[in-house]
């Protein structure tokens, strides 16, 4: 029988600690150099800016303010997973080197093309390469979720031109349908919602109310923020990967549904209180307008909590069925006659 000495275990622990310190130091130096010091992109300006400065400036925009909290949330998730990381041997893999090369190439290509979005992709790839190079594939499996979650850190302003207008059309069309179902005659004019004409009261179209679903009301802000929240909520409340993915996907229609409720609320408020009290202006929205903004999150978050509870119950039932099937599984018959073996 052999016994491992405490000194040997202590040395091993020190070696692992130094490996972690080395990995963090090298990773920090690489990322700070590439993203905090190199003048990378012109953007819409006349001089190149570092990626950090450009991203920080975009974080100040209302639609992308939630991105600022992502690095802190990802770091907190890594802290929660520290026990799993300790249980996985820190054995670096050469595959990380090739992943790093791919990340450096994409970084260089974005620099030459003056496209900052390539630097976002490069950052994700470089982080994965550093983790695999120093920690190995086991560490990458543990850190897969916080690594993916960092995608929400990058402001994707180019999506506004592709998503905002279709969202405005969807919300305004659905708002007209809901208002008509509520007994409030309405018609759609582009992205505007107008009261229907009423010949008996000598009212033309839009006399009672006229609400335009403007760009800030498209739902872009709530859509990405709620997708981020659903990913976090699913991670902490659900165990199965399919359940987490399902919750993440249903956050999109819930965000749209919440924004439809908001538009209907503002339209009804305009009819009752007038446009000035119900909506205000783009520069100075009214209190009712600001209050209606919280409806989006109440509807969406309420729906996500409900769906998460249902998915959790389904997962529990599946686990119970698996356990019961294992218990009921018949054991292989054992031969009682030794002569049968021959």
- Give, for all 342 residues of the chain, the pLDDT tens digit: 444 444 444 445 666 677 788 888 888 898 999 999 988 887 666 788 899 999 998 898 877 888 999 999 999 999 999 899 888 888 888 999 999 999 999 999 999 988 899 999 999 999 999 999 999 999 999 999 999 999 999 998 888 777 878 888 888 888 888 888 988 888 888 878 888 887 877 778 777 878 877 666 666 777 888 899 999 999 999 988 899 999 999 988 998 888 888 888 888 888 888 777 777 776 677 778 778 778 888 888 888 889 988 988 875 655 555 555 555 555 555 444 444 433
For the record, the structure tokens of 45 come out as: 């300006």
**HEC profile of 135-150:** HCHHHHHHCHHHHHHH
Strand partners, 189: 192
Give the C-alpha separation, 252 to 304, whole Å.
Answer: 10
Residue 283 phi/psi, 5-degree rounding, is -75, -35
């Amino acid at each position: 029988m052999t016994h491992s000495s405490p000194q040997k275990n202590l040395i091993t622990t020190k070696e692992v600690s130094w490996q972690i310190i080395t990995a963090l130091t090298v990773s920090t130096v690489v990322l700070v150099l590439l993203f905090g010091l190199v003048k990378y992109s012109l953007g819409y300006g006349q001089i190149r800016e570092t990626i950090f400065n450009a991203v920080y400036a975009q974080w100040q925009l209302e639609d992308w303010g939630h991105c600022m909290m992502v690095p802190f949330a990802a770091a907190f998730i890594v802290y929660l997973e520290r026990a799993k990381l300790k249980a996985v041997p820190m054995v670096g893999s050469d595959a990380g080197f090739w992943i790093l090369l791919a990340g450096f190439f994409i970084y260089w290509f974005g620099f030459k093309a003056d496209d900052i979005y390539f630097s976002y992709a490069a950052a994700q790839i470089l982080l994965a390469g550093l983790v695999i190079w120093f920690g190995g594939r086991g560490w990458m499996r543990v850190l897969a979720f916080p690594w993916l979650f960092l995608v929400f850190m990058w402001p994707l302003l180019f999506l506004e031109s592709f998503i905002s207008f279709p969202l405005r059309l969807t919300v305004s069309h659905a708002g007209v349908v809901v208002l008509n179902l509520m007994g409030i005659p309405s018609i759609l004019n582009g992205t505007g919602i107008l009261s229907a004409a009423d010949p008996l009261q000598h009212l033309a179209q839009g006399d009672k109310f006229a609400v335009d679903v403007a760009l800030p009301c498209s739902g872009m802000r709530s859509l990405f923020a709620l997708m981020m929240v659903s990913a976090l909520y699913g991670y902490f409340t659900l165990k199965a990967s399919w359940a987490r993915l399902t919750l993440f996907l249903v956050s999109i229609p819930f965000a749209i549904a919440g924004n439809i409720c908001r538009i209907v609320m503002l339209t009804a408020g305009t009819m009752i209180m007038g446009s000035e009290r119900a909506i205000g202006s783009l520069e100075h929205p009214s209190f009712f307008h600001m209050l209606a903004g919280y409806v989006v999150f109440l509807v969406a978050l309420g729906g996500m909590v409900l769906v998460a509870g249902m998915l959790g119950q389904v997962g529990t039932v599946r686990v119970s069925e698996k356990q019961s099937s294992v218990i009921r599984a018949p054991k292989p018959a054992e031969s009682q006659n030794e002569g049968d073996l021959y």
